[in-house]
Amino acid sequence: MIETELKTVAREGGAALVGIASRERFITAPPSADPGYLLPSAESVISFVIPLDRKIIRGYLSKEDWLAHGADHKRVYQNLYTIGDALADFLKGRGFEAVVVHANKSYRPEPGGTDHFSRVTMVPDFSLRYGAVAAGLGMPGWSGNLMTPQFGSAVFLGAVLTSARLEPDPLLEESPCDKCKLCITVCPVEMISKKETVSVTIAGREYSYGKKKNNAACIIGCGGFHGLGLNKKWSTWSPYRVDYPFPEDEAELVELSRRIRRADPNRQGKPAFRTEREFCFDPNETYINTCADCQLICWENRQDREENQRLLYSSGVVVLTSEGRRVAVQAEETMEVETPYVVRVTVPRKEAVPALVSGTNAESAVTAMDTKVMSLLTR
């Protein structure tokens, strides 16, 4: 059977989970789950999952190693595209149309502008999360991320749309999410509601998850512009800060997000507009991750989730040193400095500098903003 052959191709390429959904399963789903947007002739969706390295995740959450997670991030994206290409080639070789869905950074036009600085709604060409739900690979966790029974939410997703009419797999019957809501506790911008929910209908079934703030808040948080935990004792891997809580008025929040992005040196020039495929296969590109804690903390076992939260909470606050290193110290060893880039930067107090030089195993990577800010710290 062609379905068995397709799954073999995906698994041999490195996919841990593979499932198939029919176009009919998306009729009542949100518009972002319409496969016809990318491929009008689409009749089926092949969805696949690759888990992230767990040892590396814990090194990232505990602030022991910053860049290893980015390297793993890049590896998995490359693998997703390689699997997608192999599936598409297989289908095209048998006379069907097929399109590989971008793993990230490809969005539909939106009001207010679609350029890199203006995007806020960020509706994907095709929702990989909804595709995976329709293919029986998982369900939305409280965070809204796909949660699988085997790997929790610490996974990346891929999909291929095809004109082939394939036999769909059964939907998952029981949610892997026990609503522990630890995902809420590790978000520095309180993106996810503790009580309110939203619902989507896929394949005739209703799925609910935590209601979220406007995406502008997540852009600021996961974008690395604000990383301080709510109790101010821990942070993400970002040393940058914005006044928090953010403006309650959504228009003001959106404008703040846009102002920050326009001022960010890392968002300037053509590299900021590259597709995920272009970025992940460029040997000269380094993935600079700072957050995604709500996804990374969520493993299938609750005890593991609690341990991940503990590691993050005890990891300290990340600072930028005058040498251009991002390292974690205790909160009382930090101070904040104004920058010309709308955000402030957290730096070590002078007496903490000697301990930083020998007291960390974190690797170093200097971003464009870090370089600009360092000039302020060394004056």
> How far is it, in rounded angstroms, from Cα 160 to Cα 162?
6
Which tokens hold the place of 355? 């301990």
Any residues with CB less than 8 A from the CB of 154 and at least 6 apart, and which? 51, 52, 54, 57, 295, 296, 298, 299
| Better-predicted residue by pLDDT, 22 or 367 | 22
**Residue 361: predicted pLDDT:** 46
Average pLDDT over residues 166-182: 98
**Residue 363: predicted pLDDT:** 56
Q: Each residue of 241-259: pLDDT tens digit?
A: 999 999 999 999 999 999 9
Average pLDDT over residues 111-118: 80
Looking at 3-7, 16-20, 362-366, which range is the least confident one? 362-366
Amino acid identity for residue 150 in this structure: Q
Does the pLDDT at position 379 exceed 80? no
> How far is it, in rounded angstroms, from Cα 297 to Cα 141?
12
Q: Each residue of 49-103: pLDDT tens digit?
A: 999 999 999 999 999 999 999 999 999 999 999 999 999 999 999 999 999 999 9
Measured CA to CA in angstroms, residue 144 lies from 115, 183, 191, 281 at distances of 25, 10, 11, 28
Looking at 6-20, 109-123, 148-162, which range is the least confident one? 109-123
pLDDT band of residue 365 (cuts 50, 70, 90) is confident
Any residues with CB less than 8 A from the CB of 56 and at least 6 apart, and which? 65, 68, 69, 72
| Chain position carrying tokens 């069907």 | 96
Query: Is pTM beyond 0.85 here?
Result: yes
203: left (phi over 0), alpha (psi -120 to 50) or beta: left
Amino acid identity for residue 46 in this structure: I
Look up residue 187 and give its DSSP letter: -
